[in-house]
Structure 1
Amino acid sequence: MIEQQAERLWTYEEPLRFFGFEIGRIMSVIRLSSGGLFVQSPAALTTDLRSALDDLGEGRFVASASKLHGHLYMEQYRDAYPDAELLAAPGLPARRPDLRFDQLLGETPDPRWAPDIDQVAIAGNRWLTELAYFHRPSRTVILGDVGYHIGEQSPLKTRLMARVFGVYKQVGPTVDYRLTIKNRATLRRAVQDVLSWDFDRVVPGHGEIVETGGKRAVIDGFDWLL
């Protein structure tokens, strides 16, 4: 079910098919110093997952990575945890007018999670702004669609797709994201802000976790930009 990656950091992987390719999706769960849980890119809240989360703490903040990544099940967490706050990435309130969001995320982390988590808004793409997170205690960067990392454990069909889209065995966005960049300087600054963090592990939005050597993996994955 939930796999512990480090002290106060867990991940949960669920299947996800995209145009017939199994790319999977990763949810991250951080127990804050205050004791509540910060849930990034929430998965479907099944009975088993709810039980596992309850063993870790109380859901306090539920965040999407972008308007496309990690928003589908946010309402389930509000129903399960009445005091939980839903955090919206740029563009998500317009995409999900059925939800009431408590905060629109940007460059500055809220003081309630800032002691544990830093964040950067990765902008510069024509259609998508995404939030990257840094869990300081475990030196872990958490990404969404700007951080595919398809490796050898993926199905053959998915590995072939990843080669075509430029995300096989490297951390980065797919080629269609690169083709819709409107401001390379803005995107470059955001990636450099991510690289300024002292991290070693990378939790991608899709694919396999980079347990160590994550900073080099991000540098290599964004060499076309940097």
Structure 2
Amino acid sequence: MQDSTEKWQAIADGVWSLSYHFSNAGMQVSTRMTVIRLADGGLFSHSAVPLSPAQKAALDAIGPLRHIVAPSAMHHLFVGKLAKLYPQARLYGTAGVLRKHPDQPLLEPLPAGHEAPWVGELQCIHLDGIPMLDETLWFHPASGSLIATDVLQCWQGPLSLPVRMYLGLAGGHERLTVPRTVRLLVRDKAAVRAWVQQVKNLPVQRVILLHNSVIDVKSKQRLDEALSIWD
């Protein structure tokens, strides 16, 4: 069912997000699409969600959507739906996303940093060492926003019983953390520690999570605490 009641929320100057609620493996969960306005006025979108006509109209009022990014092998379900609404936008994905979407012939690999159309405005950090996730973290220096997919989670507010049971096992209820389910997927601890240090060096002012919440209070402290499991 289309989650048409949600509205775009302004998170920071030039940054908006839209939550989408759906059922996954029997759990009622939410995901988030984050949009950033680039210097040329075009929009970059992170992790697609389906849009109702009203949600699309509201997005179009912000600016033209030119870049659609599927940021991990686990967050790609709705990329085709968004691409149909914006056939003029370029479509990018990680290697895992490309393997899962032979149905999207226009899907491109994420470009190298110096070749990316958002160079100087967005920083992409691939999470080496956890190949199953094939996840990328994104940092927007102008707003100090770090966008994470699954490697960082913090679920807040009313939650269904299945979600609470999952969080009892994985962690992440009312506390920013790396879920235990993610820790079990690590295959190269040295590579993980390298990107952790890179993330810790960023001047983060908020952490935008795909699942459920945005961390904008003591965000740098809470981020460092969450990543300290790999110190």
C-alpha deviation, 1:11, in angstroms: 0.8
Percent identity over the alignment is 24
Residues 64, 111 of structure 1: CA spacing in aligned structure 2 closer, same or farther, 3 A cutoff?
closer
Segment drifting more, 158-167 vs 30-39:
158-167
Q: How does 1:49-60 map to 2 (within 5 A)?
A: 49-60=55-66
Question: Which digits, 9 at most, give the CA deviation of each residue in 1:124-152, with x for residues without a partner?
Answer: 1141221100111111000101121112x
Query: Tell me, what secondary structure is at the counterpart of 1:16?
Result: strand
Does residue 94 of structure 2 align to residue 93 of structure 1? no
Q: Which residue of 1 aligns with 2:3?
A: none
In structure 2, the CA distance between the partners of 1:80 and 1:7, relative to structure 1 (3 Å rule), is: same
Letter of the 2:30 counterpart: G
Identify the residue that residue 17 of structure 1 maps to in structure 2. 23
1: CA distance, partners of 2:87 / 2:147: 26
Does the aligned pair in 2 maintain the 1:78–1:86 contact within 8 Å?
yes
Deviations 1:33-73 (A, max 9, x none): 1111100001102212211111111110000120111x222
- Equivalent residues of 2:98, 2:108 under 8 A apart: no
Contact 1:86 1:103 in 2 (8 A): yes
The aligned counterpart of 1:189 is 194
Residue 114 of structure 1 is matched in structure 2 by 119
Partner of 1:154: 158
Q: Tell me whether 1:137 sits opposite 2:142 in the alignment.
A: yes
Local SS of the residue matching 1:98: coil
Gap change, CA 1:110 and 1:159, over 3 Å in 2: farther
Residue 199 of structure 1 is matched in structure 2 by: 204
Q: Distance in 1 between matches of 2:8 and 2:35?
A: 9
Shift of 1:119: 1.2
User: 3-state DSSP class of the match of 1:22?
Assistant: strand
Structure 1, unmatched stretches of 5+, are none
User: Normalization by structure 2: what TM-score?
Assistant: 0.89
TM-score, normalised relative to structure 1: 0.91
| From 64, 68, 71, the counterpart of 2:74 | 68
Deviations 1:126-185 (A, max 9, x none): 41221100111111000101121112x131523443232121223343212211211011
Deviations 1:13-52 (A, max 9, x none): 1113333333311110001111111000011022122111
Of 11-20 and 116-125, more deviation after overlay is shown by 11-20
**Secondary structure of the structure 2 residue equivalent to 1:120:** strand
Paired with 2:29 and 2:88, the residues of 1 have a C-alpha distance of 32
Q: Which amino acid aligns with 1:98?
A: D
Structure 2 residue 52 is matched with structure 1 residue 46:
yes
Helix, strand or coil at the partner of 2:215: coil
- Which AA in structure 2 matches 1:117? L
User: What is the root-mean-square deviation of aligned Cα atoms in Å?
Assistant: 1.8
2:217 paired residue number: 212
Map of 1:177 onto structure 2: 182
Letter of the structure 2 residue corresponding to residue 4 of structure 1: A
Q: Which stretches of structure 1, 4 residues or more, deviate above 6 A after TM superposition?
A: none
Q: Is the 8 A contact 1:107 1:120 kept in 2?
A: no
* Per-residue CA distance 1:163-213 (angstroms, 9 max, x = gap): 321212233432122112110111111122122111110001212110132
